[in-house]
Amino acid sequence: MTASARLLIVGPQGSGKGTQGVRIAESYGIPVVSTGDMFRANIKQGTPLGLQVTEILDRGDLVPDELTSEIVRDRLSQDDAANGFLLDGYPRNTTQVGHLDAFLAEHGQALDAVILLDVPREESIARLTLRATEQGRSDDTDEAIAHRLDIYEHETAPIIDLYSAKGIVDRIDGVGSLDEITERVLAALAVRGLRLAA
């Protein structure tokens, strides 16, 4: 039984991984490391990185791998991530998997599990459209949503194959109530011997 948890949560935009990530991280007493949150914080503060990221996102593109990996490595080096973390939004492609695996290997670590929230494309689109209306998010236009789901399917899906080969992927049905989905995830991780925070 391990006392730490190094987790990655993966799913298409609108799969609820942000919400579930927070719940799971709290259950294990580990920080959520969300590239989206880090980027948004920089955008809000108007930092040079924030301005750079805004320009990229406004084009409907994703932030380059090297830049993203550098930010994540810095975050995982902080004290609160020493006993584990939950990654959300990174790695999103096979190049970033290589960056992450190399970084963890340097520290004698590896991911314990990859949580894959399985949500049909139609469900993702419906959720994102609702979120755009409720939150007035300018980056959630129909075209941007479709573009990001296409990128997810082409770039992120292959990382599941890599992690499946290592036997660390838990495929979770991402449709249901928040509590039902959280319980499914925690049950799958318990099978792997991961202990919840006291």
Q: Annotated catalytic residue: which of 40, 121, 127, 131? A: 131
Nearest-angstrom CA–CA distance, 88 and 42? 17
Catalytic residue among 6, 75, 148, 184: 148
C-alpha to C-alpha distance for 192 and 168, rounded to whole angstroms? 9
Catalytic: 131?
A: yes
Q: Is 192 marked active-site?
A: no
What does 52-66 look like in DSSP terms, one character per residue?
HHHHHHHTT----HH
Assess whether 184 carries a catalytic annotation.
no
Phi then psi for residue 58, to 5 deg, are -65, -25
Catalytic residue among 6, 17, 75, 184: 17
Mark whether 137 is an active-site residue: yes
On whether the CB atoms of residues 116 and 170 are closer than 8 A, the answer is: yes
Structure tokens at 20: 């579930």
Cα distance between residue 114 and residue 169, in whole Å: 5
> Strand order of the sheet with strand 169-173?
32-34, 84-88, 5-10, 113-118, 169-173
Contacts of 5 (CB under 8 A, 6+ apart): 28, 30, 84, 86, 112, 113, 189, 194
Residues with a known catalytic role: 17, 92, 131, 137, 148
